[in-house]
C-alpha cells in the first residue's frame, strides 16, 4: 500500500474514451488511479474492469462542493502521502455556427472544459504538492487539450475556445506553481478513436439547416466522422500521459496526432492561406 499510494493519480472523466484509456495504461504500469465519473453505474464498470487498482470518485467537475468532498476522500486514503499526478481530462464538445449558437450551450462548454479544470485543480493541487510543507516529492498536473487548441475549425468555436483557453491556463498555472516544483504539461491529441465520434454521428444540425451554414455543417460532420474512424487508439494518449508523469524532464506540450504533416502545415502556413483552404473545402468560399 505504501508504494501504491505514493504513485496514485487522479483522472477526471474516466468513464469512457481517453479517460478510460489513461486509467488502463497507468494501472498496467503500477499506478493507483482515482477515476472520476458522474454515475454510479460507471463507477461499477470501473471497479469491474480494474479491480482495486482503481478507486471511483463520483462527481461532476462543475460541482465545486462535490469535487472538494472527493478531494477529502482522496486525502484520507493517501494518509499523508502526495499524489503523483492530476490528469484533467473531463470535457465535452459543443458544435455549431457561432452566430446562431444558443448562449446556454456556449456557457456549458466553458463551464465544463475550463471552469471544471480550475475547480479540480484547486481541490487536488494541494495533494499533488502545491502546499508547504509537503510529505514527499511533488507530482505533476496533466491537462488534456487538443490540436484544436492551436488551430481552430469553423463550427467548433465553443470547443476550440475552451482548448485555446486551456493552453493559457496551463502556462499561467505552470509558472504559478514554480515555488512548489509542481509541473504542468499539456497533452494535445488529434483524432482519437473514441465514442465521441458516435455522438458526432448523432448530432442534429437541423436547427442550422436554413442558415447559410447548412451544407458546410454537413460536410464538416462527414469529415469529422471519416477522420474519427482512422483516429489513434486512445491508449496512445494514455502512454503520453504516462510519459508526462514519469520522465525526468517532460516537454510542456505533447501533440499526439495521426496526421502530423497536416498539423505541421497548419502551424506553418499563413492564417489567411488556411482560411481559403478551409473555406473552399467546406463550401464557405466559391471554388
Helix, strand, or coil (residue 12): coil
Q: Which of 198, 185, 178 minimizes the C-alpha distance to 254?
A: 185
Give me 188's grid cell: 494535445
Cis check for the bond before 133: say yes or no (omega within 30 of 0): yes
CA dihedral (158, 33, 22, 125) in degrees, to 10, reads 40
Q: What is the CA radius of gyration of the chain?
A: 19
> Contact, 34 vs 13, CB < 8 A?
no
Question: In the annotation, is 159 catalytic?
Answer: yes
Q: How far apart are CA 67 and CA 39, in angstroms?
A: 14
Which member of 159, 208, 213, 254 is catalytic?
159
Q: Which of 105, 209, 104, 203 minimizes the C-alpha distance to 159?
A: 105
Q: How far apart are CA 240 and CA 122, in angstroms?
A: 24
How many of the other CB atoms lie within 10 Å of CB of 108?
Answer: 15
Beta-carbon contacts of 183 under 8 Å, excluding residues fewer than 6 positions away, are 138, 140, 141, 174, 177, 250
Beta-carbon contacts of 239 under 8 Å, excluding residues fewer than 6 positions away, are 25
Which residues are known catalytic residues? 159
Amino acid at each position: 500500500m505504501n508504494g501504491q499510494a505514493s504513485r496514485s493519480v487522479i483522472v477526471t472523466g474516466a468513464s469512457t474514451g481517453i479517460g478510460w484509456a489513461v486509467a488502463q495504461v497507468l494501472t498496467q504500469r503500477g499506478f493507483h488511479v482515482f477515476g472520476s465519473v458522474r454515475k454510479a453505474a460507471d463507477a461499477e464498470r470501473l471497479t469491474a474492469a480494474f479491480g482495486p487498482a482503481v478507486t471511483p470518485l463520483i462527481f461532476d467537475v462543475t460541482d465545486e462542493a462535490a469535487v472538494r468532498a472527493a478531494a477529502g476522500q482522496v486525502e484520507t486514503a493517501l494518509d499523508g502521502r502526495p499524489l503523483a499526478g492530476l490528469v484533467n481530462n473531463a470535457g465535452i464538445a459543443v458544435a455549431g455556427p457561432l452566430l446562431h449558437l444558443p448562449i446556454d450551450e456556449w456557457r456549458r462548454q466553458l463551464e465544463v472544459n475550463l471552469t471544471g479544470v480550475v475547480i479540480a485543480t484547486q481541490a487536488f493541487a494541494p495533494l499533488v504538492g502545491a502546499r508547504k510543507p509537503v510529505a514527499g516529492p511533488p507530482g505533476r498536473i496533466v491537462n488534456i487539450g487538443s490540436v484544436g487548441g492551436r488551430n481552430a475549425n469553423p463550427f467548433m468555436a465553443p470547443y476550440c475556445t475552451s482548448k485555446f483557453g486551456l493552453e493559457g491556463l496551463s502556462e499561467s498555472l505552470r509558472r504559478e506553481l514554480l515555488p512548489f516544483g509542481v509541473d504542468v504539461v499539456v497533452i494535445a491529441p488529434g483524432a482519437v478513436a473514441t465514442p465521441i465520434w458516435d455522438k458526432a454521428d448523432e448530432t442534429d444540425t437541423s436547427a442550422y439547416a436554413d442558415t447559410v451554414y447548412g451544407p458546410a455543417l454537413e460536410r464538416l460532420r462527414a469529415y469529422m466522422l471519416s477522420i474519427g474512424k482512422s483516429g489513434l487508439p486512445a491508449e496512445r494518449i494514455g502512454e503520453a500521459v504516462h510519459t508526462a508523469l514519469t520522465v525526468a524532464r517532460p516537454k510542456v506540450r505533447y501533440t499526439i496526432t495521426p496526421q502530423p504533416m497536416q498539423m505541421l502545415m497548419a502551424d506553418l502556413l499563413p492564417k489567411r492561406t488556411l482560411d481559403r483552404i478551409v473555406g473552399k473545402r467546406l463550401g464557405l468560399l466559391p471554388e
